[in-house]
Amino acid sequence: MMWAFLHKLASPQGFYALSARLSPWCWGLAACLIGGGMIWGLGFAPADYQQGNSFRIIYVHVPAALLAQSIYVAMALAGLVFLVWRVKLADMAATAMAPLGAGMTFLALFSGAVWGVPTWGTWWQWDARLTSMLILLFLYIGVLALRGALGTRQSAARAASVLTLVGVINIPIIKYSVEWWYTLHQPATFSVTSRPAMPAEMWLPLLVMVLGFYCLFLAVTLTRTRHEILRREASRRWVQALTGEGP
């Protein structure tokens, strides 16, 4: 039964129906969590005793940086599934999430630079964490450019998947950069295994923002994969049967 469910899910038609049912909830949840988290973090969380109010940038910086890496890993997994099992839907999902990943990487770099000015006295330095995040941005841009140049052909899917998989080596470098070369960026503030080193009033809004950003990732991926199905499977009868119902 599990297998039959997975098989149905991996078919564009089965995925389309499930995604159409789920995505509105993801969008709504993302809007509530991000909206609430922002108000909480900006107006109600206490200021940091050392950094003052510039500390509030954490509530957009950390979720953006987490998502930038998670989306890349998800894209690489999708690429692997596409290359090994030739699941078309996996490549459609990888296509759907790439622009959001690039946007999140940019946001992490931008908010980090802006935060760096009052905290470090510089907006940029060739620190290992900062540099490896910049490389991540270039990887995203490379994948997007490759797909843009080759369109929806099979060769585009293969080339983009290979590039994504090669670039995944950058992910552990980003993660451990702050421990291997501790030059500017401080090590991770949070870990799954230990208690947070800040009071709950400070990390709770961050948790809300992180959850909100992941909901957004899910919403964008579900919706844009559906778009990708409409784009690539426009000649299928079941897709044509959808026309006339409106968007």
Partner 1 sequence: MAFDSWHAFLAMGGHAAYVWSAYGVTLLLLAGVGLHVRLERRQLWRRLQRQARREQRPVRRAQEGRSP
The residues that touch partner 1, with contacts defined as CB under 8 A, are 16-17, 20, 34, 38, 42-47, 52-54, 56-57, 60-61, 64, 99-100, 103, 106-107, 110-111, 114-115, 117-118, 216, 220, 223-224, 227, 230-231, 234, 239-247
- Least distance (Å) between residue 224 CB and partner 1: 6
Identity of the residue, 115 or 203, whose beta carbon is nearer to partner 1 in the bound complex: 115
Sign of CA dihedral 46, 50, 52, 56: negative
- Least distance (Å) between residue 54 CB and partner 1: 4
CB 206 within 8 A of CB 58: yes
Q: Residue 154 burial by CB count (10 A; 0-12/13-18/19+): exposed, middle or buried? A: exposed
Identify the three-state secondary structure at position 52.
strand
Identity of the residue, 38 or 198, whose beta carbon is nearer to partner 1 in the bound complex: 38
Question: In 49-63, which positions are buried (b, 16+ CB within 10 angstroms) versus exposed (e)?
Answer: eeeeebbbbbbbbbb
Identity of the residue, 174 or 215, whose beta carbon is nearer to partner 1 in the bound complex: 215
- Least distance (Å) between residue 171 CB and partner 1: 22
Identity of the residue, 54 or 131, whose beta carbon is nearer to partner 1 in the bound complex: 54
- Least distance (Å) between residue 195 CB and partner 1: 23
Identity of the residue, 81 or 96, whose beta carbon is nearer to partner 1 in the bound complex: 96
- Least distance (Å) between residue 80 CB and partner 1: 26
- Least distance (Å) between residue 72 CB and partner 1: 17
Identity of the residue, 103 or 142, whose beta carbon is nearer to partner 1 in the bound complex: 103
Return d(Cα 32, Cα 37) in angstroms, integer.
8
CB 190 within 8 A of CB 196: yes
What letter does residue 236 receive in the DSSP assignment?
Answer: S
Identity of the residue, 82 or 115, whose beta carbon is nearer to partner 1 in the bound complex: 115
Return d(Cα 40, Cα 110) in angstroms, integer.
22
Return d(Cα 25, Cα 175) in angstroms, integer.
31
- Least distance (Å) between residue 10 CB and partner 1: 19
**Which segments of 193-243 does DSSP mark as H helices, in order?**
200-232, 237-240
Give the residue among 4, 31, 19 at the shortest CA–CA distance from 228.
19
